[in-house]
Every structure is written in C-alpha cells, then in structure tokens.
Copies of this chain bind each other. A is one copy, B any other.
Amino acid sequence: MAGNSFGQVFKITTFGESHGPAVGVIVDGVTPGVEIDEAYIQIQLDRRKPGQSTVTSPRKESDIVHILSGMYEGKTTGTPLCMMMHNHDMQSSAYNDIQHAFRPGHADFTYLQKYGIRDHRGSGRASGRETAGRVAAGAVARKLLEHRGVSLVAYTKAIGGIHCETFDEQEIERNAVRACDPNAAAAMVAKIEALAAVGNSCGGIVECRIRGVLPGIGEPVFDKLDAELARAMLSIGAVKGIEFGAGFAAAEMLGSEHNDQMQAAGFISNHAGGIIGGISTGEDIIFRVAVKPTSSISVPQQTINVSGEEQSIVTEGRHDPCICPRIVPIIEAMACLVLEDQFKRHAAMHH
C-alpha cells in the first residue's frame, strides 16, 4: 500500500525520480477503441514543462512522451497504457553544495526519516517531475471525458496578494501566469520577476471549473466527489488547502444564505460548488486550492545537516519563483483522473 497509485477503476501508477533515467505512468482501465495519439498528450505535457516563460524555471525538460503499450493502430486497446518520458538536463552537480544539508520547506528531511535514504540530487520522488506522469495520464482521461461532454479549465486566481478581478477564459493561455484577468496577470508577472531577482518566491490561489458533469456522479460516503478531488489536489506537493464553492466563506454564512434554492430552471445559486452529499448537482464544479511559495530560494536560511549540525543554506539552481502557472495543468490532470474514475464507478454500479 505504498501510495503510488490513484483511482479505483480508471487507475494510474506513476514511477520515476527527478535524476533517474525516466519518469512515467501506467494507466489501467482505459476504455478500448478510443482514438488518441502522442501529439494530444504532448500538448498537456508542454503546458507543464519548465522553460515556458520568464516566470518559470529555465530548466530544459523536453518531456517527449513515448507510449510503450496499450495502443494499436491509433486506438486504445483496453490494456495498460504505459507512457514514459526520459529525463534530460540533470545537473546533479548543482546540488553538490547542499549534499548534506536539509533544504527548508523541502521533503528531503522527511524522506530521509521515512526511507532512511539520502539522495541529495534534486528532490527524487518528491520532485515536481513526478507530475509529468500524472499529466500524461490526465490527458488520456481528458480525452475520455470529452466523449462524455465534460470540459474543465483551471487558472490562477491570485498570486502574491494580487487577485484577479475579472474572468476571461480566453486570456488564460495568453499570459505567462495563466491568470483569468489580463491586468492582474501583468502585475503578477512583475511581482514574480521582482522576487526572482532577489532569489525569493511567492504562492497563490488556483481555481478550477468543471462543466458538463450531469447530476448523480460521486460515490458516497467516503469517496465523495469532493473528497476524492481534495485528496487529488492535496497529493500535489505545493498545495496546502482546498475549498469548494463558497468554501471557507461558508463558515460565516447563515443557512438561509448558503443553501442553494431551486426553481424549475434549476439551482438559483451554486454556493455548494456543484457537489452536495458528495454527488454532482449538475451545476459547474468549482474549487480553489492554496499554493505555497516555492521552497527553493536563494535567500540564506538557517538549517541543519544530516549530522544535526546547524548551518546556513542557499538553494541555488533553476527553480520556479512561483509554481502557479505550471500547477494549472497538473490540477486539470488530477481533476480529469478523479472524474473519469467516478464516471466509471457510477457505470459499474448501474450495469
């Protein structure tokens, strides 16, 4: 029960470390006979990869997907779909200075505690690189969801205290931070560049909106649609919180304010965020996640080394000063994985 699999019926298992030969994923439970190709998957991987703009890490990861199984003549076969991305541009030497010291905010301390293994090169399994496999698998799920009429979009809602004031879906892929408001986006980019210049980082909030899910999807009681989405999002390293619909604001609302009343045409409001009792209502599913500031900064920090001795540390390297733009496709991928799995589980119960 090591935790490298996700999903029950549509199930993925990822593998790979940041400085090993490759990362990848097996997707099991894929509907057979569905047309899909590497180019479709590559689109999502390209959205995740570093080096996209001035506000992302300049690392070069080509992240070319290789499909090793589960496809025949351009269609899925229903057998396990294995996708692999080779690792390149691994500058392990960049990590030599921090060979023995724990990087604040990083998982190297906890991994050593858990496994008794000290691999100072990059972040090993805790690296964001592991998410390449998720994004590739998520693209497969996205394709299956298209056939169900489901679409979804995630976008930066806030970065470093700057909040989007408008929502223009067309803007999202046009700016470097994947924000839904072009004015806020410009301010966010400026803020990130300023922080990067001094070796610091910042966090933000990403929102996701899912459309086209008919009412009735989600498995009570423990595998509620929101519970599964929450687990999926918190499984992303930088995510520290999630809220659905009104979310934490619901804590200050009255029942008469929060309840979504109904009329013949449907729900009048959507404070629930499209999920009640763990089951989709048919309204848009809406949630927001809190993204912490990137841990890797070159501001000097206090830490200890593996011998317990105190020292100062400066994490050099090519890191993202704000991970929000690159976390957007990961959030979409995880949401796709949850949804396709829940659709298939729903089908299993009724057939």
In the bound complex, do residue A119 and residue B77 qualify as a contact, i.e. CB atoms below 8 Å apart? yes
Q: Which residues of A, 271-327, contact B by the 8 Å Cβ criterion?
A: 272-273, 275-282, 290-297, 299, 301-304, 308-310
Nearest-CB distance from A96 to chain B (Å)?
15
Q: How many Å lie between the Cα of A23 and that of B221 in the bound state?
A: 13
Interface residues on A, range: 35 or more
The digit string for A67-78, where 1 denotes a CB below 8 A from any CB of B, is 011111001011
Which residues of B have CB within 8 Å of A107? 220, 276-279
Cβ-based interface call for A58 (8 A): no
Which residues of B have CB within 8 Å of A32? 115-117, 349-350
Which residues of B have CB within 8 Å of A71? 20
Q: How many Å lie between the Cα of A221 and that of B281 in the bound state?
A: 30
Given contacts A3-B222, A107-B278, 7 further A-B contacts (CB under 8 A): A20-B69, A20-B71, A33-B117, A113-B215, A229-B234, A255-B294, A348-B351
Q: List 24 A-B contacts (CB under 8 A).
A: A1-B1, A1-B9, A1-B345, A3-B223, A9-B348, A13-B28, A14-B221, A15-B80, A78-B114, A107-B276, A107-B279, A110-B277, A113-B216, A126-B220, A160-B252, A222-B235, A240-B273, A248-B290, A249-B290, A251-B292, A256-B299, A262-B303, A344-B351, A347-B350
